[in-house]
A and B are shown apart, each in its own frame.
Chain A
């Protein structure tokens, strides 16, 4: 059993890290074509990310779309999550399902829906089309994190505020909203990262005019391997891994991922 356990874990780690190793090697290869064993060492592909206007433009576009669409997603999710958990509304399950549905269905459904929608309005190929499409598709993530926070929130707090004479609006602004901020940030971050990586919706909604980073990478892949793509991949992975490591050091990664609190205590003691 022990041998089996270690070999399985090793296998999974190798499997998960294999693509990362390939892109890391490819990104510092001097040669334009990736050969094995690699030849030379060069950081020029990383430089190209910041000097080549095409790549720079795509990186900026993707960051803008991700930042705005994630904010819009939180704006959609917060009132929905708050009202559905605070008030007795008959249609609540249906409204919640409406908020989760776009993300539950394959992205191609939202992509094609948005494509025919914008075609029928004649408003085609604009950046705001992508922003709205991403906001709707990823609104599910903040909706889930905020709803969860609403459920686990100590109900005594808003009730105490009301007993002390605060009206609904003041209670929301001074008690509920501050308590919801962490879950709003978590939802924003998740929507931001996924929007940055999203391809098919961006492509079908405005792929020929708004060249986001994933769209540009795929267009580049049609002409074969480019070390710049590998460099981008490495930058992305480093950002993600650093963020997660900081989160694990300063926050509680296991608890965030839903581990049982009782088990965590036992683990700490051991």
Chain B
């Protein structure tokens, strides 16, 4: 927008409601959470105001650091797997004719509108022994008896990829439709195979987009709770599950608060990285 007007006192009056709501119900709760992370937990009861570093010290113990590294690892892996499938898929999608393109977009959006709870539930069944994919394989005579594939690391990874995949496609979609077809046509006129064009022309041009897309999947999966909780054993839990577990079942809210702040810092660093990558490359062509 070219010319913006000078704000009047009334302007600030208009801002009072939204900013007030965000301050009271986001910033202040966050502040209370920071304070709570220094509170003292009473075993068997709840917690009391205090100032101690016990919760933060616990954060830097090898057990917890190992959990944090596991979370980062599995979410980065989910980001990698998602982008490896989503990037070529979205690229082909944008090159399709209108009808199949819209149909596929509806499939992607339908998957997106599924509740995480329902996604976890259906993969729980699909990977289970009683009525999962292994039964189909037995029925077809490929396998001898049904097997359970969850809870396991692979099941958690699969679930995380499922919930993140539609978001990943929708992030790549607008930019990839702007990739000028003339560029790839030029490469093929000069004798490159479609395969070679994809690897030597499309992928290098879209590299920042690929980085941003996988980092977004990383942040998104880091926030997932239900998937790891239902499809994994406690050793496959991510930070979100541990925080919720400490805040509800274990009733150790101060420790949960310390972990939540750790997770906030981690997510903010990744979001900052995404913003940096995106601001460098507003357009592909």
Residues of A at under 8 Å CB distance from B?
A: 1, 4-5, 8-9, 11-13, 15-20, 22-23, 26, 33-37, 75-77, 79-80, 82-83, 85-89, 95, 98-99, 101-102, 104-117, 119-120, 132-133, 135-136, 139, 150-151, 155, 193, 196-197, 199-200, 203-204, 207, 214, 217-218, 221, 225, 229-230, 232-233, 236-237, 240-241, 244-245, 248, 253-254, 257-260, 263, 267-268, 270
Contacts and interface: CB of A to CB of B under 8 A. Distances in A.
Given A95-B15, A237-B114, A244-B110, A257 B105 contact: yes
Given A200-B225, A241-B106, 8 more contacts: A16-B111, A19-B118, A75-B18, A95-B19, A98-B19, A99-B22, A207-B248, A221-B117
Nearest to B113: A240
A259 B174 contact: yes
Interface residues of A: mostly helix, strand, loop or mixed? helix
B61 interface: no
Interface in B204-244: 219, 222-223, 225-226, 230, 240, 243-244
B64 to A, nearest CB: 16
A87 B7 CA distance: 5
Contacts of A98: 19, 22-23, 26-27
A218 B260 contact: no
A181 to B, nearest CB: 18
- The bracket for how many chain B residues form the interface is 35 or more
Given A33-B130, A36-B139, A79-B18, A86 B5 contact: yes
Interface residues of B: mostly helix, strand, loop or mixed? helix
Interface stretch (B52-60, B86-94, B147-155): B86-94
Interface of B: 1-2, 4-7, 11, 14-15, 17-19, 21-23, 25-30, 32-33, 36, 85, 88-89, 92-94, 97-98, 101-102, 104-111, 113-119, 121-126, 130-132, 135-136, 139, 162, 165-166, 170, 173-174, 177-178, 193-195, 198, 219, 222-223, 225-226, 230, 240, 243-244, 247-248, 253, 256-257, 260, 263-264, 267-268, 271
A212 B32 CA distance: 26
Nearest to B106: A244
A76 B92 contact: no
23 contacts: A1-B194, A8-B88, A9-B93, A19-B119, A20-B110, A75-B17, A75-B18, A79-B18, A87-B5, A88-B4, A98-B27, A108-B244, A112-B243, A113-B32, A116-B29, A132-B25, A135-B21, A199-B117, A200-B244, A221-B117, A229-B121, A237-B114, A240-B110
